[in-house]
Amino acid sequence: MVCPHCSYSEIITLKQRTTLGYERFRCRCCGRRFNERTGTPSDRVQQKRQVACAKSTQAAKQAITLYEDFSYLYRCVLAELNVFDRYGNLRDRQQAEEGIKVCLALIEQLKRNAITEAVNKVRRTLPDLFHYLDVAKKVVDEFKALPLPEECLKAYFIAWQWGKAVRKAKKSDRKNTAQ
């Protein structure tokens, strides 16, 4: 056996083996360590596989990060579309619009063409999107004219919003919870 680095023929066999069980050696001339596969085609294949694995791992991490970022921002947009806050108070249209605009700007910063196109479509529909808040304001004003305590009305509004979310849920087990 000769050293694959300097081609010197005097080498020392080391006691330990590689993790794959190959013998390890050290050159007496250059002092470099190597195994019986060093410099062979199978060694280069393994190196290529390690590089490909590292690239795919990095791509997977980026995809997961993108998914988590988008998922969080998407849930924020949906939360801004709620008619009532968690206390049963009617949400302010201006506040909801500003919240959605901020979320859309953050989603756009993810720099994905398909997502950016979807954001632009949502931006075009924003004026019509919040019409339901104006309608809800009229309905809430009619309810407030009734002789009911404010706490009862707020509880009713929260229940209505929760029921609406359950009806629109895509998972059947969540739909069955309300029935």
pLDDT higher than 70, residue 173: no
Using DSSP, state whether 100 is helix, strand or coil. Answer: helix
Using DSSP, state whether 135 is helix, strand or coil. Answer: helix
Q: What is the pTM of this model?
A: 0.59
Does 1 fall in a domain?
yes
Which runs of E-coded beta strand occur in 28-165? Answer: 33-35
Work out the pLDDT band at 179, boundaries 50, 70, 90.
Answer: very low
59 shares its domain with 147: yes
Question: What is the tally of structural domains in the chain?
Answer: 2
Burial 41-69 (b: 16+ CB within 10 A, else e): eebeeeeeeeeeeeeeeeeeeeeeeeeee
145 shares its domain with 66: yes
10 shares its domain with 59: no
94 shares its domain with 35: no
66 shares its domain with 145: yes
Are the C-beta atoms of residues 32 and 44 closer than 8 Å to each other?
no
53 shares its domain with 31: no
Domain holding 83, by residue range, is: 48-152
Share of the chain above pLDDT 90, in %: 22
22 shares its domain with 108: no
pLDDT, average across residues 63-83? 89
